[in-house]
Amino acid sequence: MGVQESAPLDVERIREDFPILEREFDGNRLVYLDNAATTQTPNQVIDAISDYYRATNANVHRGIHHLSQEASIAYEEAHDNVARFVGASGEREEMVFTKNTTEAENLVAYAWGLNELKEGDEVVLTQMEHHASLVTWQQIAKRTGAEVKYIGITEEGELDMEHARELIGEDTRMVSVVHVSNALGTINPVEELADLAHADDSLIFVDGAQAVPNRPVDVEAIDADFYAFSGHKMAGPTGIGCLYGKKEILEEMEPFLYGGEMIRKVTFEDSTWNDLPWKFEAGTPLIAQGIALDRAIEYLEDVGMDRIRAHEEWLTEYAIDRFEEFDDIDLYGPRDPEKRGGLVGFNLDGVHAHDLASIMNDHAVAIRAGDHCTQPLHDELGTAASARASFYLYNTREEVDRLIDAIDDARQLFA
């Protein structure tokens, strides 16, 4: 196979931090391969949440008492740390906390798109966009008269860059692309797409929900204008997402939500806005979640993002090799593990993906089946649904074998 046989990570040690992985169902140890939907949470992050409520809980920005000061410092510093984690040198001013990636997409679509787009303008997406991006830009385009165009994909499941060069032109105002596809696993050439966008004075929004959790990401090296991701897909809690935006663009943008915390001066007639990023964080923000996400990032950095990436490649290579033993399995996305993230979408001939996931569940193997919020992509692939196994730093090759055994069981049942 041309790869090392031992895991790049000390998985046994890592698994001690994730108590949920010890769960058993009908005597079978859980095999959790649904990490692209949400990842599990280590004790360190669970403790950060309970420690916060036990010792620090207070509202931020507004109190002068000890607890509020402590909570404010921890919450504000979380922005700096998350910004640094993805290479944003503007620190907190360039890092807005949102509810999730979806809200980050909507923030930009409403606050920038609704004000800036007009008839004749074009928004260029890819055919592999998650609905979070696709539906959002589609609806904002309808409201503004702008047109949405989609970069096609090749047989191999990669972006058709020739098509991208044709589509991105002088009418393009926004290019919104997924960094790593949640359905195909494809890693897209976002640096090249950023160059294409900027050559035509367009902005670029990169959806990094499946990229930031498992590889080093540098938003400045990509030259992304906006970059979004979700805490719950990177060992953090639910309820927090992150929007990186270049400071000069965020400064020019109107707010997305109005209310307390995001204002500087309010009269009965008008209001002015707070500094970045608070201008985009109306109301009581995601305090516990932000602090816990900071702890998740520290956890991932301690393990090492390069090593997490290597581990996923090591698992994906093995999974693809195992899948390729069978000619009744259709695999989606590029075969080369260096061109894809740690997830594998597939279908087993003659078995609906939902039935497959249900048989997997009988083996305590958790995978996802469906359209993975990429319905138009599945139409292009000619299938209503696919099954998907997705890996994280605590998964093992033995778990991939359990997946393959469970598929074999499905094969026997449906034969």
User: 373 an active-site residue?
Assistant: yes
Q: Shortest CA distance to 292 belongs to which of 90, 78, 84?
A: 78
Q: Verify binding: residue 240, ligand 7TS, rule CB under 6 A.
A: no
Q: Verify binding: residue 36, ligand 7TS, rule CB under 6 A.
A: yes
Q: Verify binding: residue 176, ligand 7TS, rule CB under 6 A.
A: no
Kindly state the tokens that stand for 108.
């930009």
Largest CA distance in the chain: 72
- Cα–Cα dist 82/228, whole Å: 12
Question: Which residue's CB is nearer to ligand 7TS, number 71 or number 300?
Answer: 300
Question: Site for ligand 7TS (CB under 6 A): which residue of 121, 207, 281, 371?
Answer: 207
Q: Verify binding: residue 132, ligand 7TS, rule CB under 6 A.
A: yes
Q: Which candidate in 373, 376, 380, 397 is catalytic?
A: 373
Q: Which stretch binds ligand 7TS (CB under 6 A): 69-77, 204-212, 253-261, 398-406?
A: 204-212
Supply the minimum distance, in Å, between the C-beta of residue 178 and ligand 7TS.
5
Question: Site for ligand 7TS (CB under 6 A): which residue of 79, 311, 372, 378?
Answer: 372
Please say whether the beta carbons of 291 and 75 come within 8 A: yes
Question: Which residue's CB is nearer to ligand 7TS, number 71 or number 293?
Answer: 293
Question: Site for ligand 7TS (CB under 6 A): which residue of 79, 92, 130, 363?
Answer: 130
Q: Verify binding: residue 100, ligand 7TS, rule CB under 6 A.
A: yes
- Cα–Cα dist 268/282, whole Å: 19
Q: Verify binding: residue 348, ligand 7TS, rule CB under 6 A.
A: no
Q: Verify binding: residue 340, ligand 7TS, rule CB under 6 A.
A: no
Question: Site for ligand 7TS (CB under 6 A): which residue of 30, 37, 249, 282?
Answer: 37
Question: Which residue's CB is nearer to ligand 7TS, number 11 or number 96?
Answer: 96
**Catalytic annotation, residues:** 373
List residues binding ligand 7TS (CB under 6 A). Answer: 36-37, 100-102, 130, 132, 178, 182, 207, 209-210, 230, 241, 368, 372-373
